[in-house]
Amino acid sequence: MWMFVLFFTSLVTYCHGYYVVVDANSEECFFDRVASGSKLTLHYEVAEGGFLDIDVNVYNPSGAKVFESLRKSNGRPEFAANEAGEYKYCFGNRMSSMTPKVVLFEMAIEEDQLKVNETDDGKLELQPLFSHRGAQKACNNG
């Protein structure tokens, strides 16, 4: 029976949703530490400001750009984390000289590994390798 439970709980998914005001001629960046092999999905939408457009860049822990989107109102890029570490994602409003933008976003991180601990009484206990520690404002895995 525990193999059945282990199979269906082998995927750990968490996400966190926020909104940010990106001032004119500026950029706001956020970071998430992920395990190698994780699937990342960044869902974003400009809710207010100007032409409702924003620049989005995502960088891997080595600093290489893994995603770029220029002047889009929304998006939902998905990509694999090919290396462990901190991934940085930035929302840029450098094209605007006067208008701030309000951006709603969430980063969903799906990890396919679990840490299995044996308790003192011989039972197996499953724990995610990582857990989300931020303030969760909105979360939608759909």
Task: Return the domain boundaries, the chain.
Answer: 2-128
Choose which CATH entry (3.20.19.10, 3.90.870.40, 1.50.10.10, 2.60.120.380) describes domain 2-128.
Answer: 2.60.120.380
Task: Say what the pLDDT of residue 122 is.
Answer: 59
From CA 56, how far away is CA 138, in angstroms rounded?
Answer: 20
Lowest mean pLDDT segment, chosen from 15-29, 36-50, 64-78, 87-101:
15-29
Model confidence at 14, in pLDDT bands (50, 70, 90)? low
Whether 77 shows a pLDDT value over 80: the answer reads: yes
List CB contacts of 86: < 8 A, sequence separation 6 or more.
31, 32, 33, 61
Lowest mean pLDDT segment, chosen from 27-31, 64-68, 112-116:
112-116
